[in-house]
Chain A
Amino acid sequence: MNIAGDWVPSPSPARVRAKGLSYVPEERMRDGAIGEFTVAENMMLVDYKTDPYTKHGLLNRSAIEQRCEGLTAEYRVKTPNIDTPTKNLSGGNIQKVVIAREFSCDADVLVVAQPTRGVDIGAAEYIHERLLQQRAGGAAILLISEDLDEVMELSDRIIVLLEGEIMGEISRVDFNINDIGLLMSGVAATASTSSA
């Protein structure tokens, strides 16, 4: 696997993260957050053992608290406090916790899967905003989504996948819902890309 020019042999989540990749999983409650953990613990799930959050193996509570209070405010996570069990939050707010964690890692590459599925409109717009901010900050973003509006609104390039195969690639200037629709149904891959 190649990440921002670095070759990663036998990739594992730990190895690709070390190379500067962040991942917002599709199934936020299964793969993204731990329901029983507090908001703060979930926000620290990736960086928990790095300085200054852990010193000599022991957690540095004030540093963790400061960061999580900051992230909660910055990402507008609606939670009674950072020690609330994450499962008590709404889906959109759990997603914001995951996104706050992943976006605050300063990653070079972001893999973001279905970031707004099941999230209310306000939160979804906010998440889109943050995605574009990451892009402006120089991160490469791979957005995986079934929401066509979302994909068309945010992407520079769209690659349509059908049953594991790349059906075609469209650049932003050529975005056209009909062409994408055709690609999605597996029709006329070459014709559509050349037409517009």
Chain B
Amino acid sequence: MLVALSLGAVMLLTLGANPITGYAALIDGAFGGWDELADTSIKAMPLLLVGVGICIAFRAGVINIGGEGQIIAGAIASTVVALVLPDVSRILLVPLVLVGGAIGGGLWGAIPGVLKAYAGVNEILSTIMMNLVAAQFLSFLLQDLLTDKASGAIKIQQTERLSANADLPLLPGDTRLHLGVMIAILIAVLGHILLFRSALGVRLRAVGHNADASRYAGMPVKKSIVQALAFSGACAGVAGAVLVFGSESHRLIAEGGASGFTQSAGFNGIVAALFGGLSPLAVVPASFFFGGMLTGGISLQQELQVPAALIVALNGIVVLFVVGSLKLQTRLRSWAQEAGSGSLRGSESPPSDHAPQPADSVAISEDSDG
């Protein structure tokens, strides 16, 4: 973490800016007040939702790189729900669009799941390809079918202003913070229950650790793979719905390609999930931290006139160092353990579970930054 920050400082220096004021601006922009905290939370929402889905998939041994596509599929599905049922009352329509998003993303995730389970197609390949398909499909839909009718001859790639009944309600307090943040945290709790407190979670994790033993124990391995990707996609799909109905414009927009709409949350969510040690509850602070980096980056840019791309680079460095050092820690510990048991001195108290470890260090890095 420190190494990453000092490398960032060197980058700031080479750009002719003072790193201390730079970091001050970053922290102030991310966590400096209610508005900043709200913006950080809004940025963190899709990361958290995708991240919870990634936890489910990775724990089941399925590498889901398809968050982007699943977000888009969820956004499209939820938009269609809002377009078809614009007059349903708000108390029903908000859950409906969220469920629509979950189903859209879930189905989009299930496709590579079926391909992997029954045709042996590598899920990394298929999920990446499904991202491209989803992006093009979105572009196609916004070209014609779902385009704003009011825009006339010049077609802008966006839908009409979607039904106000589907707007995610703002939370009390004078910020932009909306219901999405509650939904994201709720999904994180549900994800935790699914993985660690349910029979399905036992099966998914068993298959992820050791598919052979799971099969001999009578577990349906193929079904588990499909389910893992479907749940993973459903979480990303909810993120898609939240991105549409929690946005300022309340439209589905493909501004300058799909990445403009998803904010690359499909990929950054993976980072947040790994940062949180693939534990849904730990992904909450992890995604909040990354959300802070993203919002803080904007104020860093404004204060110091350095390109915001710097923060993307800085993010990358932080991830490399933190994730790298965690891996190194566990490896060092297992070496120590092996050495201990090899010499029959019986090294006491082997590290019981490395899962919570990343969570702790996230909490620490949170404190030192906030």
Interface of B is mostly: helix
B199 at the interface (CB under 8 A from A): yes
**What chain A residues lie within 8 Å of B352 (beta carbons)?**
83-85
Among listed A26-34, A70-78, A148-156, A161-169, interface-contacting one: A26-34
Q: Determine the distance from Cα of A118 to Cα of B353 in the docked complex, in whole angstroms.
A: 27
Q: Determine the distance from Cα of A127 to Cα of B28 in the docked complex, in whole angstroms.
A: 65
Q: Is the CB of A31 within 8 A of B213?
A: yes
Contact of A30 among B198, B213, B220 (CB under 8 A): B213
Q: Is the CB of B218 within 8 A of A18?
A: yes
Contact of B218 among A13, A30, A41 (CB under 8 A): A13
Task: Tell me the minimal C-beta distance from B278 to chain A in angstroms.
Answer: 12
B16 at the interface (CB under 8 A from A): no
A196 at the interface (CB under 8 A from B): no
Task: Tell me the minimal C-beta distance from A61 to chain B in angstroms.
Answer: 8
A175 at the interface (CB under 8 A from B): no
Task: Tell me the minimal C-beta distance from B279 to chain A in angstroms.
Answer: 14
B202 at the interface (CB under 8 A from A): yes
Contact of B193 among A35, A36, A48, A58 (CB under 8 A): A58
Q: Is the CB of B199 within 8 A of A32?
A: no
Q: Is the CB of A88 within 8 A of B350?
A: yes
**What chain A residues lie within 8 Å of B219 (beta carbons)?**
14, 45
Q: Is the CB of A36 within 8 A of B217?
A: no
Q: Is the CB of B202 within 8 A of A44?
A: yes
Q: Is the CB of B209 within 8 A of A58?
A: no
Q: Is the CB of A37 within 8 A of B216?
A: no
Q: Is the CB of B210 within 8 A of A13?
A: no
Q: Is the CB of B209 within 8 A of A48?
A: no
Chain B contact residue count (CB 8 A cutoff): 23
B327 at the interface (CB under 8 A from A): no
A43-79 vs B: 1/0 string, CB under 8 Å?
0111011000110011100000000000000000000
B255 at the interface (CB under 8 A from A): no
Given the contacts A45-B217, A85-B353, A57 and B200 also touching, CB distance less than 8 Å: yes
**What chain B residues lie within 8 Å of A57 (beta carbons)?**
198-200
| A17 closest partner in B (C-beta) | B218
B206 at the interface (CB under 8 A from A): yes
Task: Tell me the minimal C-beta distance from A95 to chain B in angstroms.
Answer: 14
B197 at the interface (CB under 8 A from A): yes
Task: Tell me the minimal C-beta distance from B216 to chain A in angstroms.
Answer: 5
Chain A contact residue count (CB 8 A cutoff): 29
Q: Determine the distance from Cα of A53 to Cα of B197 in the docked complex, in whole angstroms.
A: 11
Contact of A25 among B198, B199, B202, B216 (CB under 8 A): B216
Task: Tell me the minimal C-beta distance from A99 to chain B in angstroms.
Answer: 14
Q: Determine the distance from Cα of A88 to Cα of B350 in the docked complex, in whole angstroms.
A: 8
**What chain A residues lie within 8 Å of B217 (beta carbons)?**
13, 17, 45-46
| A38 closest partner in B (C-beta) | B353
Q: Determine the distance from Cα of A31 to Cα of B216 in the docked complex, in whole angstroms.
A: 7
B335-370 vs A: 1/0 string, CB under 8 Å?
000000000000000101100000000000000000
Q: Is the CB of B197 within 8 A of A34?
A: no
Task: Tell me the minimal C-beta distance from B219 to chain A in angstroms.
Answer: 7
Task: Tell me the minimal C-beta distance from A14 to chain B in angstroms.
Answer: 4
Q: Is the CB of B216 within 8 A of A32?
A: yes
Task: Tell me the minimal C-beta distance from B369 to chain A in angstroms.
Answer: 32
Q: Is the CB of A37 within 8 A of B199?
A: no
| A44 closest partner in B (C-beta) | B202
Residues 201-221 (chain B) with a chain A CB within 8 angstroms: 202-203, 205-206, 209-210, 212-220
**What chain B residues lie within 8 Å of A33 (beta carbons)?**
213
Residues 5-36 (chain B) with a chain A CB within 8 angstroms: none
Given the contacts A31-B212, A35-B209, A35-B210, A59 and B202 also touching, CB distance less than 8 Å: yes
Q: Is the CB of B209 within 8 A of A37?
A: yes
Given the contacts A14-B220, A18-B218, A45 and B198 also touching, CB distance less than 8 Å: no
**What chain B residues lie within 8 Å of A36 (beta carbons)?**
209-210
Q: Is the CB of A48 within 8 A of B210?
A: no
Query: 28 A-B Cβ contacts within 8 A?
Result: A13-B215, A13-B218, A14-B220, A25-B216, A30-B212, A30-B213, A31-B213, A31-B216, A32-B216, A35-B210, A36-B209, A41-B206, A44-B202, A45-B214, A45-B219, A48-B202, A49-B199, A49-B203, A53-B199, A54-B198, A57-B200, A58-B193, A58-B197, A58-B198, A59-B197, A59-B198, A59-B199, A84-B352
Binding site for B on A (CB under 8 A): 13-14, 17-18, 23, 25, 30-37, 41, 44-46, 48-49, 53-54, 57-59, 83-85, 88
New contact pairs (17) apart from A45-B213, A54-B198, CB-CB < 8 Å: A14-B219, A14-B220, A17-B218, A25-B213, A25-B216, A32-B213, A45-B206, A46-B218, A48-B203, A49-B203, A53-B199, A54-B199, A57-B200, A58-B193, A58-B199, A59-B202, A85-B352
